Amino acid sequence: MKVSAFFIILASLVMASSCKSLGDQKVVYLAHTLPVTHPVHQGMEVFAEKVVENSQGRLAVKIFPDGQLGTEREVLELLQIGSIAMTKVSAAAMANFAPEYKVMGVPYLFRDRDHLFNVLEGDIGEEILSAGSEYLLLGLCFYDAGNRNFYTKNKPIRTPADLQGLKIRVMNHQMSVDMVNEMGGSATPMAYGELYTALQQEVVDGAENNPPSFVTSGHYEICKYYTIDEHSSIPDVLVIGTKYWETLTEQEQGWIKQSAKSSAQAQKIFWSDNVAECMIKLKEANVEIIYPDKSLFAEKTQPVLEAFSADPKMKRIVEKIQVHE
């Protein structure tokens, strides 16, 4: 995908201004696609606060939310050429650059939330974050993006058999496509911005996402069945371009790393609080919340895990995750 000339020019102007010191303060620019009300954005606000605090005002972060500087893919490519310093993207987007991130999308690989973050905040997580450096994209930390669940308009999903014949919108992410197809549905990749209308017009029968996204998108106004099957837990990633990273001093890099780790801990609390609020809102909107037998869904997706593990490199990471406490 080519980055549009508009975004290159805009981002170059932004980056040029970011390289100028404001007095003794250096400003780092961080662009992402989420609204300011999102709990992941709130985590990035903590990151910005911690950078100022840890550097005693010598380093600062300016955040550009709401896709002001482009889509996830466009901004990642701008990081690679050094036109933007930082971004936040889904691990699924990073998987298009660094294959190690693909492991995050393996259905039912993580036993629960504690297992997920014990892995992400340990040696395995650091290995995955560092893997992007080969592609000029250094991961700093993971942000909680919750568990993804099915939601449908006309038919509740209680077992995998209920997915038969249903068109389910998924991300443009091969493992998500394979997962839905193995469960018996018809995976339909589609841009997120097109989904509300597609649900209204029954171009698709449903989709899958976490509670905050289900609520903030307004999709719960159309889809009145929400199945908490928790098929995947794809986190978000705070990323810095290595071209910009290498312009920082070792001390400045330390401030950024420390601030990123602190923000990740704060963001997990923001996320949990937001999920609780969203679940209350869904019940008030008369959305039926379904808690199925997850083992039925996990069993149907075993071929996805087996196919992924055919690659010896990926198999090694999977096995390390499976035995991790």
Which candidate, 60, 66, 72, 65, places its Cα nearest to that of 28?
Answer: 60
Model pLDDT for residues 60-105, shown as the tens digit of each residue: 999 999 999 998 889 999 999 999 999 999 998 899 899 999 999 9
Round to whole Å and give the CA distance between 18 and 58.
Answer: 13
Q: pLDDT band at residue 209, thresholds of 50, 70 and 90?
A: very high
Token representation of residue 259: 């601030």
Round to whole Å and give the CA distance between 53 and 61.
Answer: 11
Element (H, E) at 284: helix 250-284
Round to whole Å and give the CA distance between 206 and 260.
Answer: 35
Average pLDDT of span 256-267:
98
- C-alpha 34: how far from its chain's center? 11
Model pLDDT for residues 105-122, shown as the tens digit of each residue: 999 999 999 999 999 999
**Ordered structural domains, the chain, with CATH:** 5-144+234-275 (3.40.190.170), 148-233+285-320 (3.40.190.170)
According to DSSP, residue 9 is labeled: H
Q: pLDDT band at residue 173, thresholds of 50, 70 and 90?
A: confident
pLDDT of residue 19: 46
Residue with tokens 């300011």: 36
Residue 289 confidence (pLDDT) above 80 = yes
Token representation of residue 240: 């810095």
Output the CA torsion 130→135→139→143 (10° steps).
-120
Interaxial angle between packed helices 250-284 and 39-55, expressed in degrees from 0 to 180 and rounded to the nearest 10: 150
pLDDT averaged over every residue in the chain = 92
More confident residue, 16 or 267: 267
Model pLDDT for residues 4-55, shown as the tens digit of each residue: 545 555 555 455 544 445 557 899 999 998 889 899 999 999 999 999 999 9
**Collapsed DSSP state (helix, strand, coil) of residue 142:** strand
pLDDT of residue 8: 52
Q: pLDDT band at residue 58, thresholds of 50, 70 and 90?
A: very high
Round to whole Å and give the CA distance between 229 and 12.
Answer: 43
- C-alpha 115: how far from its chain's center? 18
Q: What is the pTM of this model?
A: 0.88
Round to whole Å and give the CA distance between 215 and 287.
Answer: 11
Residue 251 confidence (pLDDT) above 70 = yes
User: ∠ CA 12-17-23 to the nearest 5 degrees?
Assistant: 160
pLDDT of residue 325: 80
Contact between 90 and 236 (Cβ < 8 Å):
yes
